[in-house]
């Protein structure tokens, strides 16, 4: 997307922008005031197939032209090629936001569930943040890719022994898979005060777990992370 910067008369500058998946929000709720518009408790307007405050349908960022508020657009530095910026500002920030929120870094053990579009960026970013990264996937077919991207370990989730060997070992699990998983099984992989974060939106039904698994005495928590707001992207 090109945006024309306002400069003195007779001059102009064109640069590329990344547009958010959210194009408007109430701006008055506590979430919006904190720069977390993706969790807006008023009226959140999505960039695609949503009804804006003007009553009109939004048609998405794939349009040739889009009118938007600067609050929801981010300038892409000229030194970043667009082919790199696109995945970084989309899938990349989707995994970076929960990794930052739950303090992935040195001394932390992070598991990435699924090595697809979101998963491979999750491995790269978690590794760059200094965490010990384990890939949990349906097979070992992508094992070499996982190690190349920075993973320290790669385990096959169809092997029952994996859940015994890795029980109570992870501080954070990011689930990037679009299928419903046995949440109780994966909660069992969390260490004390660990968190299982679902960042996929493809599940056909809500994820559920037994009350005993997620009880205060268990000190293990399931969570959901929405697409990041402009704040962490900047």
CATH number for the domain spanning 28: value is: 3.90.180.10
Q: How far does CA 124 lie from the centroid of its chain?
A: 13
The answer on 98 and 54 residing in a single domain is no
pTM of the model: 0.79
Do 141 and 173 lie in a common domain? Answer: yes
Q: 34, 57, 79 — which closes off a domain?
A: 79
Residue 114 CB burial class (10 angstroms; 0-12, 13-18, ≥19): buried
Find out whether 17 and 75 touch, Cβ atoms under 8 Å. Answer: yes
Residue 84 lies in a domain: no
| Rounded distance between C-alpha atoms, residue 20 and residue 39, angstroms | 13
In the prediction, which pLDDT does 220 show?
Answer: 67
Q: Are residues 106 and 191 in the same domain?
A: yes
Q: Does one domain contain both 135 and 25?
A: no
How high is the pLDDT of residue 74?
80
**pLDDT tier, 197 (very low <50, low <70, confident <90, very high otherwise):** very high
Q: Which residue among 23, 45, 79 closes a domain? A: 79
Identify whether residues 106 and 175 lie together within a single domain.
yes
pLDDT at 4 over 70: no
Please give the mean pLDDT across all residues of the chain.
82
pLDDT for position 80 = 86
Confidence band (pLDDT; 50, 70, 90) for 14?
A: low
CA distance 100 to 76: 21
pLDDT value of residue 8:
53
Q: Is residue 233 part of a domain?
A: no
**What integer pLDDT is reported at residue 46 of this predicted model?**
86
Same domain, 99 and 140: yes
Domain shared by 110 and 152, yes or no: yes
Same domain, 116 and 202: yes
Please report the pLDDT score of residue 225 as a whole number.
62
pLDDT band at 28 (very low <50, low <70, confident <90, very high): very high
pLDDT of residue 125: 97
**Structural domain total, the chain:** 2
Mean pLDDT: which of 49-58, 96-105, 171-180, 209-218 is highest? 96-105
Asked whether residue 172 falls in the same domain as residue 99, the answer is yes
User: What domain range includes position 24?
Assistant: 2-79
| Domain containing residue 148: CATH number | 3.40.50.720
| Domain stops at, among 37, 57, 79 | 79
**pLDDT of res. 173:** 96
Q: Does pLDDT of 175 surpass 50?
A: yes
């Amino acid at each position: 997307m090109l945006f024309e910067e306002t400069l003195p008369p007779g001059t102009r500058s064109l640069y590329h922008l990344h547009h958010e998946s959210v194009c408007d929000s109430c701006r008055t709720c506590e979430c919006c005031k904190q720069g977390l518009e993706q969790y807006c408790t008023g009226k959140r307007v999505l960039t695609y197939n949503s009804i804006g405050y003007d009553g009109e349908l939004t048609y998405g960022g794939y349009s040739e032209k889009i009118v938007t508020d600067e609050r929801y657009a981010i300038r892409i530095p000229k030194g970043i090629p667009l082919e790199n910026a696109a995945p970084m500002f989309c899938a990349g920030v989707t995994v970076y936001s929960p990794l930052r929120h739950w303090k992935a870094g040195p001394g932390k053990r992070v598991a990435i569930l699924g090595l697809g579009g979101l998963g491979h960026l999750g491995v790269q970013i978690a590794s760059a943040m200094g965490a010990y990264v384990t890939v949990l996937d349906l097979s070992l077919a992508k094992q070499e890719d996982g190690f190349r991207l920075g993973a320290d370990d790669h385990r096959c989730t169809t092997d029952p022994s994996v859940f015994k060997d890795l029980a109570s070992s992870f501080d954070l699990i990011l689930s990037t898979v679009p299928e419903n998983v046995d949440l109780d099984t994966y909660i069992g992989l969390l260490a004390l005060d660990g968190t299982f974060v679902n960042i996929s939106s493809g599940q056909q039904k809500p994820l559920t777990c037994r009350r005993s698994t997620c009880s205060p005495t268990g000190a293990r928590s399931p969570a959901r992370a929405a697409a990041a707001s402009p704040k962490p992207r900047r």
